[in-house]
Chains A and B, each alone.
Chain A
């Protein structure tokens, strides 16, 4: 029935509709279920015949069989059990996620063949810890009900307005495409990838069709870095900053802890340098908006993006000219003198500025000057990089804290200029086949791209879209081909030069999808075109193996047989090592590169487009977890917004939620405002990735699309520094903010001390209240007593733990409407407070989950004993017993309990987690019951069971709770408090440890370690002196 397109054969038809290929018939064919007697035929809300009979039958049955137990119906699982599968036990597979610009080694947790959670692969040297929010959410995109499920063909009829999609089989598609490829050449554009096999395959395929062109583009890829490397040193390369070796870091607009695609990798490395007992690093951030990096900086200085260049050149002037360090030629010196009065011009404290320069020089070879990303994505972004390169060379950091050779990033294939090249290629209309793969080109590129594709189609070209959704781009395609999810397909990745990961499929494709790689192999085979490797591989699996055999293993020295190697690789997931001690010579810097650098403009408001840790570039906008993930900085969910500094907002009379019109050189958007303290007064920020129109039921209509505000100059995107005029409107749209208040009100909540005072007093900042002894008796813990240490000094507030917890514990998403009412369900939250000067405050973050109190206030007030203390110190919630009086939450000083205000797990809302993605080890809670952090009790029990079977006790660190596992910086430690040797016990003994709201004598099992800032000033929101 799907073959009706083809005219050669005899046509069989079931109905006139089918014969005439009516739209209604296609719709029916596409629908998963046909109209059934279960629904009323006419669509009106009456009872259908079968419904009526069913109800009647049910009432008879109920009246006849009242008080009779349902008969036990036994099922037998797996009469023939698949090997390696025990019902109820998870299986783990090593894999990788190398999507867009980021990549990580993964352990995929599967249950009964279903991947349910992604966990970090500790064997991966590039990202041994933590997993970012987006990667975590990537897992449930597998089950997204709105995925593209079938190949489709757009039928162009005489009446063009009659849009019709026709479902086809892959055979038919292949026939058509092969027919095209016999005559025509291909233009291919894909999203960034770091897979060497894929690169080889695409190259092989393109080589088979002379005249074909392939492009790789991603809207956020930072091409300025590599071109600046060429300008500075003569060779294009993507360098790797070595945070673990840096003692002094100056970031000029680089949000390496937040927005950077490799943020979780950097956070792991950076956290290592934050040990206050060792040699603690110091981080200075110059930025326009408030980013996670700025929040965690020891000193933060507000500069607007167009003047970042002045900061870098000004620092160079301070070091080289004013302080006379380093050697440069006279031209350069003259250039630097132009930036002599930067501190004054930018209103930066001159003493601080020269101190930074001095410290940088003092730490030469161990410091790091960073820039880049969208915050620094100004028109002269390349100049920024050149200036930073210059500084790093002068300071001798090049080759020491910057790895340009051993394990640099060679594998970013995307180039910004590829978009322009692609459009030119399309415009030339030489190639009649356009393939866009895994790249929502129309959404990112806007009207220009749309028009180019339209022109291409009008000129008779065929547009094939291989995508995950029928999105903005897919909607324009002639042929729409579903691609596999990364958990469904083979693949590989190169994280760094020489560090590889292998992507194993953990489930068969759920839908009728096929990857680009497999399609290319099939087409090449059918056409007998291309290299031997291309034609000789039946599946992409074969191709990957042959590539590894010929290209990767060839370079390795061990004489292992390939099959052994392959087996080991699949087990371990990664291959290759990161160089421990990089000590390369400083490259010589071409000082002429500095010649074209000029000072930034000073006047007017500037736009700063950025991406949020959750939504990113907007690809995953249909995943409700990410939409409801509170932004680490603003704590706002489900929206993007124009951020204004407090002073600017006050001057304009703007409140949070006031709709403003942003006019960027004639392009206008209307967007609600958010007041972001700490932002530069002349900067207005707006996040990319929102405003989807065909992203799916969750994504559509959330926020506004900021991509049209990116200006492209000579193949370079301008994210920051464009002139913007904001006008207030009378309209209002509330923002779903999860945080109620932004200051600590002088209370002892997040304890912070400077490094100097910490060195004098290890418990600096912790203020002990006098309190009476408890009237209650103490619990006895004979075996284990679980506790958790949260090191605020390593916590950067990224929120990876929040989504990891959500994935592990089946936490529902409520939607914007209910977040506005305060009904979000996250068991963990990251509280974020500001202190000090509201123009440039200190930011403080603290993960708060159930504190598992020894004297839990919730336990005493529950009338039905639904929340009780267990004999291992955790506070357990008995969902079945809970009637929902909510008294426990009222009595909880930390307010960590969440109530199921509605039935959120029925699966009838677009935001609902797909049922397949639920963790079977965790109860799905019904309406009307309370829930909260359980310390991942299911994981505790799994490990305890294993230990018991092996007749031993649980080893320290054997239980990893979900938040601990998701944390890239190792801020969370879980373990047995009864074991004096455990990491938790040791941390609890540290003088940095304190209990939240200690004087309330709840005696939490979660304890915090103070945050230490390597800065001179004390925390101004101070709690008080002495004891009181």
Chain B
């Protein structure tokens, strides 16, 4: 795919790579980073405020109500979990397929995954009526006799799926970071820094034995994460698909959700990478336009898969002959909340079509805008699905969802949490995997065209 172009531009030596990538860790942040961090952190504090307000006053502070008992919290949860797919996909699946172009973006994408899952994890907790008791969803030994969790409930599967995914992603990411931490440690000039990174690198010495174990673990973890990429969103989709609500109860959900997750995850990677390239110009040599172009192709492909799913749902609803199903889908597009459906379709199906043109695929402003549009569209996709609740079986129950302050608060606030973590990551952790990029260089090779 990338046969004719170089993975790392600028004829770097090993030393150049180390210098480039360690630079953000070893210099004081500039004004732009500080401003962005300030904004993100303020939003995070605002987020804490909103969460406290909700937990203290009650779920009624949010737009959810009878009969729409799930709203912004669940929508945003699925949104962030979906975003969390790209990282593991890039680092694990592409690793197994020996796609070396992944090396430039894998670290940042994985970081994004971890932070997105962390951000997502808050929502199912906070959306419960009594968040202080939400630990009851874990099957822990207790003194309540036979009282146990309900293994038939998709929400319980969800707890396992997401927590497993979060754990494995973090471990996978961390294991990948160990050799790079060692590099940072070795370059450290003050003791504190040396100690911190020394501890983080877990005594990495770069010996042959170290490398052998490392690569084995990394391969195993990649193998372990790969099914998780598929399972986690499958199970998240079960939250809907297992319910008997028209518009939720469909077998297409697992593949459709996974395609959507990859779609939104890659869009988020593109958004972040274009920003990182502006903030840290030296990174342009590692995260090249070729990388971004490949991801744009994936965005377009998955976008069309999602579009196919939208069409297929309509067909099946009609084909099933069930009056409630038929109504649910017609209502989705033409009912009182049809506006959200059309936002979803235009953002997710129509906007990525610009990537048929190479010029746009390689244009930073175009891909930045499209990637943001895609994520708006993907948020609305989950919104549209969740809002199947608003008109179900008995018309007397019908209602329309209204956003309230707290809905906007948690949505905006969650970005504060995500960006705070990501901005800290950029300054504290090597954002490109030095140990993986270096083998991709042509140093010591015959040069030209041999990248496999």
Which residues of A are in contact with B by a Cβ distance under 8 Å?
Answer: 739-747, 749, 818, 821-824, 829, 831-833, 848, 857, 860-865, 881-887, 889-891, 893-895, 898-903, 926-930, 996-997, 1000, 1028
Kindly report which residue of chain A lies nearest to residue B125, judged by CB atoms.
A883
Q: Does B152 contact A (CB under 8 A)?
A: yes
A928 lies within 8 A of B128 (CB): yes
B396 lies within 8 A of A902 (CB): no
List 16 A-B pairs, Cβ < 8 Å: A742-B395, A743-B395, A747-B324, A747-B393, A747-B394, A822-B65, A822-B66, A822-B399, A881-B136, A883-B133, A883-B136, A886-B69, A887-B153, A895-B397, A927-B130, A996-B394
Chain A residues near B14 (CB-CB < 8 A)? none
Q: Does B102 contact A (CB under 8 A)?
A: no
Give Cα A900–Cα B402 distance, bound, in whole angstroms.
Answer: 18
Q: In angstroms, how far is the closest chain A Cβ from the Cβ of B208? A: 48
A740 lies within 8 A of B399 (CB): yes
Q: Contact flags (1/0) for B62-76 with A, using CB distance below 8 Å?
A: 001111111000000
Kindly report which residue of chain B lies nearest to residue A929, judged by CB atoms.
B129
Q: Does B369 contact A (CB under 8 A)?
A: no
Give Cα A857–Cα B154 distance, bound, in whole angstroms.
Answer: 12
Give Cα A1013–Cα B133 distance, bound, in whole angstroms.
Answer: 52
A821 lies within 8 A of B60 (CB): yes
Q: In angstroms, how far is the closest chain B Cβ from the Cβ of A795? A: 15
A863 lies within 8 A of B389 (CB): no
Chain B residues near A1000 (CB-CB < 8 A)? 244, 393
B136 lies within 8 A of A741 (CB): no
B393 lies within 8 A of A894 (CB): yes
Interface of B (DSSP majority class): loop
Kindly report which residue of chain A lies nearest to residue B152, judged by CB atoms.
A860
Contacts A746-B323, A891-B245, A894-B393 known; A885 to B155 CB distance under 8 Å?
A: yes
Give Cα A885–Cα B159 distance, bound, in whole angstroms.
Answer: 12
B394 lies within 8 A of A861 (CB): no
Contacts A881-B136, A882-B129, A902-B57 known; A865 to B396 CB distance under 8 Å?
A: no
B60 lies within 8 A of A818 (CB): yes
Contacts A861-B155, A903-B58 known; A831 to B130 CB distance under 8 Å?
A: no
Q: Does B45 contact A (CB under 8 A)?
A: no
Give Cα A740–Cα B399 distance, bound, in whole angstroms.
Answer: 5
B59 lies within 8 A of A740 (CB): no
Partner of A848, one of B64, B153, B394, B402: B394
Stretch at the interface among B142-150, B419-427, B428-436, B440-448: B142-150
Q: Does B141 contact A (CB under 8 A)?
A: no
Q: Which of A821, A829, A890 has the most CB of B within 10 A?
A: A890
Sample of 10 further A-B pairs with CB below 8 A, known A863-B149, A882-B129, A884-B129: A740-B399, A744-B395, A749-B394, A821-B65, A822-B68, A885-B129, A895-B67, A899-B129, A903-B58, A1000-B244
Chain B residues near A741 (CB-CB < 8 A)? 391, 395-396, 398
Chain B residues near A831 (CB-CB < 8 A)? 394, 396
Give Cα A890–Cα B394 distance, bound, in whole angstroms.
Answer: 13
Kindly report which residue of chain B lies nearest to residue A1000, judged by CB atoms.
B244
Contacts A833-B396, A883-B128, A1000-B244 known; A901 to B59 CB distance under 8 Å?
A: yes
Q: Does B202 contact A (CB under 8 A)?
A: no
B69 lies within 8 A of A883 (CB): no
Chain A residues near B244 (CB-CB < 8 A)? 857, 891, 893, 1000
Q: Which of B35-94 contact A (CB under 8 A)?
A: 57-60, 64-70
Give Cα A739–Cα B394 distance, bound, in whole angstroms.
Answer: 10
Chain B residues near A900 (CB-CB < 8 A)? 58, 129
Chain A residues near B133 (CB-CB < 8 A)? 883
Contacts A822-B65, A899-B129 known; A863 to B159 CB distance under 8 Å?
A: yes
Chain A residues near B155 (CB-CB < 8 A)? 861, 863, 885, 887
Chain A residues near B134 (CB-CB < 8 A)? 883
Contacts A821-B65, A823-B66, A886-B70 known; A997 to B393 CB distance under 8 Å?
A: yes
Give Cα A863–Cα B137 distance, bound, in whole angstroms.
Answer: 6
Chain B residues near A903 (CB-CB < 8 A)? 58
A832 lies within 8 A of B396 (CB): yes
Chain A residues near B399 (CB-CB < 8 A)? 740, 822
Chain B residues near A747 (CB-CB < 8 A)? 323-324, 393-395
Contacts A831-B396, A886-B129 known; A1028 to B321 CB distance under 8 Å?
A: yes
A927 lies within 8 A of B70 (CB): no
A928 lies within 8 A of B245 (CB): no
Q: In angstroms, how far is the closest chain B Cβ from the Cβ of A734? A: 11
Q: Contact flags (1/0) for B225-246 with A, using CB distance below 8 Å?
A: 0000000000000010011110
Q: Does B327 contact A (CB under 8 A)?
A: yes
A885 lies within 8 A of B128 (CB): yes
Chain B residues near A742 (CB-CB < 8 A)? 395
Partner of A891, one of B129, B243, B391: B243
B392 lies within 8 A of A863 (CB): no
A902 lies within 8 A of B323 (CB): no
A902 lies within 8 A of B60 (CB): yes
Kindly report which residue of chain A lies nearest to residue B63, judged by CB atoms.
A821
Give Cα A596–Cα B129 distance, bound, in whole angstroms.
Answer: 68
Q: Which of B157-174 contact A (CB under 8 A)?
A: 159
Kindly report which residue of chain B lies nearest to residue A997, judged by CB atoms.
B393
Give Cα A899–Cα B392 distance, bound, in whole angstroms.
Answer: 18
B327 lies within 8 A of A745 (CB): yes
Kindly report which residue of chain A lies nearest to residue B151, judged by CB atoms.
A863
Kindly report which residue of chain B lies nearest to residue A831, judged by CB atoms.
B396
B150 lies within 8 A of A740 (CB): no
Chain A residues near B65 (CB-CB < 8 A)? 821-823, 901
Q: Which of B164-215 contact A (CB under 8 A)?
A: none
Give Cα A854–Cα B233 distance, bound, in whole angstroms.
Answer: 31
Contacts A863-B159, A927-B58 known; A890 to B245 CB distance under 8 Å?
A: yes
Contacts A863-B159, A881-B147, A927-B129 known; A890 to B69 CB distance under 8 Å?
A: yes
Kindly report which residue of chain B lies nearest to residue A741, judged by CB atoms.
B395
B153 lies within 8 A of A862 (CB): yes
Q: In angstroms, how far is the closest chain B Cβ from the Cβ of A204? A: 55
Chain A residues near B107 (CB-CB < 8 A)? none
Kindly report which residue of chain B lies nearest to residue A829, judged by CB atoms.
B396
B130 lies within 8 A of A740 (CB): no
Kindly report which residue of chain B lies nearest to residue A891, judged by CB atoms.
B243
B67 lies within 8 A of A889 (CB): yes
Give Cα A744–Cα B152 distance, bound, in whole angstroms.
Answer: 33
Chain B residues near A930 (CB-CB < 8 A)? 129
Kindly report which residue of chain A lies nearest to residue B124, judged by CB atoms.
A885
Chain A residues near B376 (CB-CB < 8 A)? none
Q: Does B127 contact A (CB under 8 A)?
A: yes
Partner of B148, one of A744, A829, A865: A865
Q: Does B156 contact A (CB under 8 A)?
A: yes
Kindly report which residue of chain B lies nearest to residue A902, judged by CB atoms.
B58
B243 lies within 8 A of A861 (CB): yes
Closest 3 CB pairs of A and B: A884-B129, A928-B129, A901-B60
Give Cα A790–Cα B367 distance, bound, in whole angstroms.
Answer: 61
B128 lies within 8 A of A823 (CB): no
Partner of A898, one of B66, B245, B324: B66
Contacts A831-B394, A890-B70 known; A901 to B136 CB distance under 8 Å?
A: no
Q: Which of B66, B127, B154 has the most CB of A within 10 A?
A: B66
Give Cα A899–Cα B66 distance, bound, in whole angstroms.
Answer: 8
B149 lies within 8 A of A864 (CB): yes
Q: In angstroms, how far is the closest chain B Cβ from the Cβ of A1008? A: 13
Q: Which of B117-142 contact A (CB under 8 A)?
A: 127-130, 133-134, 136-137
Chain A residues near B394 (CB-CB < 8 A)? 747, 749, 831, 848, 893-895, 996-997
Chain A residues near B239 (CB-CB < 8 A)? 887
B59 lies within 8 A of A899 (CB): yes
Kindly report which residue of chain A lies nearest to residue B146, judged by CB atoms.
A865
B149 lies within 8 A of A865 (CB): yes
Contacts A857-B244, A860-B153 known; A883 to B130 CB distance under 8 Å?
A: yes
Q: In angstroms, how far is the closest chain A Cβ from the Cβ of B143? A: 13
